[in-house]
Chain A
C-alpha cells in the first residue's frame, strides 16, 4: 500500500472539496473494495477522506411513495429494512446474494455501486489492463474469459461489473443523488456507467470528488412481487456468472408490466429493455419469455470462453419469468 494521509472529514462539503482538490485523493466509506485494491496497489490514493460517519445511514420515505436510501446504509441494513423487503424484495434478495454477512456489514450502498470489476487481469498489476493502465492492452480478450462480459463490451475492455444490488436497482430505475464540486445532481442508475468503448479506465460518469449521498427507489408497485436469481459456481459467497432481477404483472393472461435486469453479463447492471418491450401486451407464455430473452441476447457478443453465458442468461430469464408468472 502506498503511504497515504488519512483525514476524517467534518462535513460533506469540505470532504468533497478535499477530494476534488487532489487527483490522488479518494473517499473512504466501508473500505471493503478500496482497501482490497489498495493492498495490491491497483489503486494508490495518497489522501483518504473518511466520510463513513458523514453520509446518511438512514432509509426515509419519499413523498411520491418511494424510498431514499442513505449512501452510508450498510448492505445488510438495506436488505433487512422492512419496507425494502416488502416493497422491493428483489433488492433484499440481490444484496443478500452478494458477498458474505460480515462483508455486507462493512460495505455501504454507495460503495456497492462503485465497486470495481473482478477481472483477474485488472487485479494483477503485473498484467496489461486498459482499465487499470490505459493504453496497455486488454489481457482478458485473449485470456481467461469465463467471467467476462457478453453485452456492451469493447475491444479495449471485456470486464464485467460484479454488483448484485445494482442489478435490482437498475430494474427499478433507481436514481443516484450526488454532491460534487459543482453542486448536487441526480443520475439514474442506468446512466451511471460509461461504455468501455469510451475509455474503460473510468467506470462511471461521476466526476472526481463527486460523492454519492443517497439513492432513490421510486414507487414501483410491481416490485412487490419481484425476485432476484443469482447463478454462480458456489452456492454462496461467489460472484454471479449470470443473475436476473425481475418483476412481472400479468392480467388476463397477458404481460401488463415487466422489469428485467441482468448481472454478470456486462460492464454495468444490464437493463433488458429489449426483452421488456418484447413482452408488454403479449401472452405470458414460455414461448414468449424465451423469445424475449433471445431478443435481448441477440446483441450478445460472447468470447469463446464465456459463450455459455448466452444460453445461461436466456434460461435464467425464462426460468425467472415462469416463476413470477406462476406466483402472480
Chain B
C-alpha cells in the first residue's frame, strides 16, 4: 500500500512515495538517500537511528513514515551548516568520542537534544531533586541521558567528556 508523503529533512522539503510499512529510518536511508541515521537494531534497542522529529529525539526505526506527514526531521548531517560543524560534532572529534563512527550520528543528535531537555527542566531518573527548575549536566546526568545510545566501541568516557565540554561553554 503506497502513500505519498512530504517531510522536511535537514531543512529541505522532500516529497516521496512510501509503503505504509516503511519506517521513517528506511524512508530516509532507502528512499531519500539520507544515510546519516543508522540502522543498528531496528527495534529501539540501540539508538543508532535517533533523529529529531519536530524538535524531539526519537527512534526513527519505530516510527512509521506515513504517520509523520509534514514532520520536520533533523539528522546529524543537518546539524552542520555547510562545512561548519556543530559544536557538539567538533567536540566529539577533539575528544575522540567515537571509533567506528556508526553510532555517532545518533549519539550526536541525542547529545544536542539532551542538552536542551536538561535546560528546559526535563528531569532524569538520576536527578537528585526531581522538583528542580533545571538539571545541571553532571557526569552522571549525561551518562543516564545518553544511555539510549549504545556504543559497542565503548567510547562512553569520551562521549561524556565531549558533551561536558560543550555543556560548560
Interface residues of A (CB under 8 A from B): 1, 3-6, 8, 28, 31-32, 35-36, 38-39, 48, 50, 52, 76, 79-80, 82, 85-86, 89, 92-93, 96-97, 99-103, 105-106, 230, 235-237
Contact = CB atoms under 8 A, between A and B. Distances in A.
Interface size class of B (residues with CB under 8 A): 35 or more
Given A85-B131, A100-B147, A1 B21 contact: yes
Contacts of A31: 62-64, 67
B100 to A, nearest CB: 20
15 contacts: A3-B1, A3-B20, A3-B21, A5-B20, A6-B3, A28-B64, A85-B123, A86-B131, A92-B130, A101-B113, A101-B117, A101-B148, A102-B57, A103-B44, A236-B143
B59 interface: yes
A31 B43 CA distance: 11
Interface string B60-96: 0011101101000000000000000000000000000
A106 B124 contact: no
Contact of A79 (B43, B47, B67, B123): B123
A36 B114 CA distance: 24
Interface in B18-66: 19-21, 23, 42-44, 47, 50, 56-59, 62-64, 66
A39 B43 CA distance: 8
A243 B145 CA distance: 20
Nearest to B50: A102
B144 interface: yes
Contact of A103 (B19, B59, B123, B125): B59
Contacts, number: 106
B122 interface: yes
B118 to A, nearest CB: 10
B58 A6 contact: no
Interface of B: 1, 3, 19-21, 23, 42-44, 47, 50, 56-59, 62-64, 66-67, 69, 110, 113-114, 117, 121-125, 130-131, 143-145, 147-150
B148 A100 contact: yes
A281 B11 CA distance: 63
B72 to A, nearest CB: 14
Contacts of B56: 105
4 closest cross-chain pairs (CB), A and B? A100-B148, A236-B147, A96-B125, A6-B20
Contact of B125 (A35, A36, A80, A97): A97
B145 A101 contact: yes
Contact of B62 (A3, A36, A48, A80): A36
B59 A106 contact: yes
A6 B147 CA distance: 33
A100 to B, nearest CB: 2
B125 A93 contact: yes
B146 to A, nearest CB: 8
Contacts of B147: 100, 235-237
A233 to B, nearest CB: 13
Contacts of B44: 32, 36, 99-100, 103, 106
A39 B62 CA distance: 9
Contacts of B42: 39
Nearest to A96: B125
Given A80-B121, A80-B122, A85-B130, A32 B59 contact: yes
B141 to A, nearest CB: 11
B85 to A, nearest CB: 22
B67 A28 contact: yes
A4 B63 CA distance: 15
A93 B130 CA distance: 8
A156 B50 CA distance: 38
A103 B147 CA distance: 11
Contacts of A28: 64, 67
A100 B47 contact: yes
